[in-house]
Structure 1
Amino acid sequence: MSFGFSIEAWGERALFTRPELSVERVTYDVITPSAARGLIESVYWHPGMRYVIDRIHVINPIEFSSVRRNEVKAKANSRSMRRAVQGLEGLPHLYTGQEREQRSSVCLTNVRYVIEAHFVMTDQAKPGDNPGKFCDILKRRLRKGQCYSQPYFGCREFAANVRLLEDGIPIGVYADLPERDFGIMLYDMDYASPNDITPIFYRAVMHNGVIDVSKSEVYR
C-alpha cells in the first residue's frame, strides 16, 4: 500500500521570505519545501510521523506585487520570559501600538501548487500507531476541510486553501518549459540540536513546471 499523497494548495497571496533579505521582506519565486510541509502539518500533525516533500508542481504563472504592511519591530525578551516562568519577575509585555512600523514586502499573487509528499514513521510513534492509520486520518481531514490551524503561505495573513487531489494533477502554465533555475533556496531547518539550529538549502530547478525535491542535492 502506498502512503504518498498529493495536495492542491492555492491562495491570493504568498510570501516565502528570503533569509538574506530580512528587513524588507522579499519572497522566493516559489513555495519552499519547509513551507509546503507546514501546510500539511496544519491539517494533521503527529510526533510519530514526519512529512517529506517529493515534488512541487507550479500551476499558475509566477507574478509579484509590492505591498506595505504594519509590522512589530521589537521582540519579546527571552531572558525576561524565563525569569517570569521562575516567578522572579512579572510577565514581559510588548505594546504593539508603540513598536509598530511600516515595511515594504514583495509578494507572490494568485498562487497555485500541487504538492506531492509522503511520510515516514519516527521513533516517537507508539505501539498502536501505524502508517495506514495516519494516512486514513490525513486524507479524511483533507476531504472534510478540517485543520488544526489555518494553513498559510509563508506569513499567517496570507491564508491558503488546501484539498486532497484525487482527480489527476492539472496542467500548469510551465508544462512546456524545459528548465528554469531558481538558484539556492531554503530547504528546511535542522532542529537536531536546540542550541545550534542549522538552515538547510537546496538548488531548486523546475523542469516542465515540476521541482523534483527528492532528487535535489541539499547544502548545510
Structure 2
Amino acid sequence: MLGERGLLERAREWVAPYWNARHLYRTLDWLFVLEPEADIALRLAALTHDMERHVPGPDSPTMDAQRGIPNREYERQHQERSARIVTGWLTEQGAAPELVEAVRALVAVHEWGGWPEADLLQAADSLSFLEVNVDRFVRLGLTGERGYTPERVAEHFRYMAERVRVPRARHLAELLLRAALARLEEQSGHAGAELARLEEAVVDG
C-alpha cells in the first residue's frame, strides 16, 4: 500500500494532463496557507476535486449561466460525479477504505462545504478559482459561451468570494475578487453599473 507521500505524488501525476490542473495545484497550495496541518484526506480532496471535468461522459453536467448563479443542480451533479471518479481512482491505487471514504465525502461537498474540513476545501477552491480562472471566465463573458455575459461573470466572481466561510480566508477572497473585477472591467469595457455595484459592495462589506 502506498504511503501518504507516494499517494499524493501519484495524485499529482494523475491530474497533470487535466487542462485546468493549475487550478487543482493552487487549491492545494491555498489549503496549506489556510491550514498547514491539513490531513492527507483534505490534501487529496483539494488536489482532485474537479477531476470529473477531465473524464467527460454522457452523465457530465453542463454549465449554463442562464440557469442562475449559483446553479445548485449543476454544482450537485459536478461534485457528486467528481466524488465517484476520485473514489474509483483511489480504490485502484489501493488506498485504505477509510481514506477513500474521507476523500469521497469531501469532494462530494466541495462546492458547498458544511463542516470545518469541507469549509477549508471550499475556501481553498474559491481562492484558487479567483486567482487562476479569471481570464477564462472573462473570455466566456466576451464570447457569450455557456450563457455568460460580463455581468454574469461578475456575479460568478462575487459568488465565489462570498461563499467563503473560513474567517482567515475572507480577506484573501476579497483582495482576489477586487482584482478579478478589475480584470473583467478592463477586458469587457461594458459591464458598467453592475461592476461598479459589485466593487462598492466589496468595499462596504
- TM-score past 0.5 threshold: no
TM-score normalised by structure 1 residue count: 0.24
More strand by share: 1
Q: Which has the bigger relative contact order, CA under 8 A and spacing at least 6?
A: 1
More helix by share: 2
For the pair shown, the structure with the greater C-alpha radius of gyration is 1
